[in-house]
């Protein structure tokens, strides 16, 4: 069932990405993010979807200015409006960045279960996180930890347990609780349900929606599975080969997709209500990020390709109702 809460694009912008480019300095150079611009609104759940290697996780780490070597942000701005006046996080000092990370924007990374130290119990994880970010009172840290564990539907006795004593879903919820310890305004969730079974996935999604509502959070939910976003996101961004190809409210993406790639993703979703033989994969291969084509990055896989598609890279344009698409021949 699709989300009934549409993104209200008259809301305040909390984060603005403008002309962002990210490269990995390998031989040859990989262009992971190619001139991306997007506004993220206060209290929305923005879904970001695309195939592996499209740049979703690179975008997530860019929002924290945490691109690992040999990667680097080569151009663009990331303006955070939680400060007065707003600041470009790419210009922050190391101390300012340390305060920005986790306090303003936190990240639940992909395969988060592996982020827990196997020789530390959960109590020690919360204490270390709090002290690292200058919370001096251990009592306050644990009081907050108990409150957060309640939010993610875990008993406070979990604090005495070690990671190997917890199930995958329990470890994922501990990581989410840790990400909320310093009351961030934005939480980035990078494939938070990919290693979980379907029942646990559903449980985590419902829990995240409740957290968003109760704590007035802005969430960025990254996934390769567009069907998951139907249940949680208010707006969806579709990425392909380091570029944004479509942005729209969730209902628009599912009921009125414009870009051929988005249509291909939707056609690849199996349904218990329809013939499995109607499920279709997208033909062809993603272009190499070391030698992107001159025109549209999706041209070699698109059934609607024309001469202009092979020569000119389409810009992201508004086709009405805050629905943006980068396609010369959008549907």
Q: Is the dihedral of CA 121, 160, 140, 186 positive or negative?
A: positive
Q: Say yes or no to pLDDT of 7 above 50.
A: no
Tokens matching residue 316: 């992201």
Q: How far apart are CA 139 and CA 204, in angstroms?
A: 28
Quote the pTM value.
0.92
Q: For 148-172, what is each residue's pLDDT tens digit?
A: 999 999 999 999 999 999 998 899 9
Other C-beta atoms within 10 Å of 323: how many? 18
Q: For 13-49, what is each residue's pLDDT tens digit?
A: 999 999 999 999 999 999 999 999 999 999 999 999 9
**For the chain, what percent of residues have pLDDT higher than 90?**
79
Q: Say yes or no to pLDDT of 246 above 90.
A: yes
CA distances from residue 157 to 112, 208, 223, 236 in whole angstroms, order as listed: 21, 22, 31, 37
Q: Is the dihedral of CA 7, 13, 15, 19 positive or negative?
A: positive
CA distances from residue 128 to 97, 120, 125, 141, 148 in whole angstroms, order as listed: 19, 10, 5, 10, 16
Q: What is the mean pLDDT of residues 124-141?
A: 92
Residues 6+ apart with CB under 8 A from 259: 238, 245, 246, 298, 325, 326, 327, 330, 331
Q: What is the mean pLDDT of residues 80-93?
A: 96
Fold (topology level) of 13-104+184-325? Rossmann fold (3.40.50)
Tokens matching residue 91: 């210009």
Mean residue pLDDT across the chain: 91
Q: For 255-282, what is each residue's pLDDT tens digit?
A: 999 999 999 999 888 776 666 666 788 8
Contact 331, 257 (CB under 8 A): yes
Cα three-residue angle 234-235-241, rounded to 5 degrees: 145
Q: Say yes or no to pLDDT of 237 above 50.
A: yes
Q: Which of 180, 181, 157, 177 is nearest to 169 (CA)?
A: 177
Residue 174: pLDDT band (50, 70, 90) is very high
Give the start-to-end residue ranges of the domains of the chain. 13-104+184-325
What would the 3-class secondary structure string for 189-256 be?
A: EECCCCCCCHHHHHHHHHHHHHHHHHHCCEEEEEECCHHHHHHHCCEEEEEECCEEEEEEEHHHHHHC
């Amino acid at each position: 069932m699709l989300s009934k809460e549409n993104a209200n694009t008259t809301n305040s912008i909390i984060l603005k990405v403008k002309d962002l480019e990210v490269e990995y300095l390998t031989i040859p150079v990989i262009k992971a993010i190619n001139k991306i611009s997007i506004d993220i609104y206060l209290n929305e759940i923005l879904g970001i979807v695309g195939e592996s290697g499209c740049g979703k996780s690179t975008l997530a780490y860019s929002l924290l200015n945490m691109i690992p070597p040999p990667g680097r942000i080569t151009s663009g701005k990331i303006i955070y409006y939680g400060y007065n006046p707003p600041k470009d996080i790419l210009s922050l000092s190391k101390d300012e960045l340390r305060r920005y990370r986790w306090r303003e924007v936190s990240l639940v990374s992909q395969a988060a279960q592996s982020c827990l130290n196997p020789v530390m119990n959960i109590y020690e994880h919360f204490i270390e996180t709090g002290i690292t970010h200058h919370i001096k009172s251990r009592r306050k840290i644990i009081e907050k930890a108990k409150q957060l564990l309640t939010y993610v539907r875990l008993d406070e006795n979990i604090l005495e347990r070690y990671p190997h004593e917890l199930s995958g879903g329990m470890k994922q919820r501990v990581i989410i609780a840790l990400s909320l310890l310093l009351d961030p305004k934005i939480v980035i969730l990078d494939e938070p349900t990919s290693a979980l079974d379907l029942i646990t996935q559903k449980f985590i999604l419902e829990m995240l929606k409740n957290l968003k509502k109760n704590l007035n959070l802005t969430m960025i939910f990254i996934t390769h599975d567009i069907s998951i976003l139907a249940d949680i996101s208010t707006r969806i961004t579709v990425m392909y080969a380091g570029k944004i190809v479509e942005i729209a409210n969730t209902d628009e993406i599912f009921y009125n997709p414009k870009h051929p790639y988005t249509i291909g993703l939707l056609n690849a979703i199996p349904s218990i209500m329809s013939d499995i033989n109607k499920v279709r994969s997208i033909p062809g291969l993603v272009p190499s990020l070391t030698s992107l084509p001159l025109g549209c990055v999706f041209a070699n896989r698109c059934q609607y390709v024309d001469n202009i598609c092979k020569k000119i890279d389409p810009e992201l344009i508004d086709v009405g109702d805050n629905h943006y698409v980068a396609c010369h021949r959008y549907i």
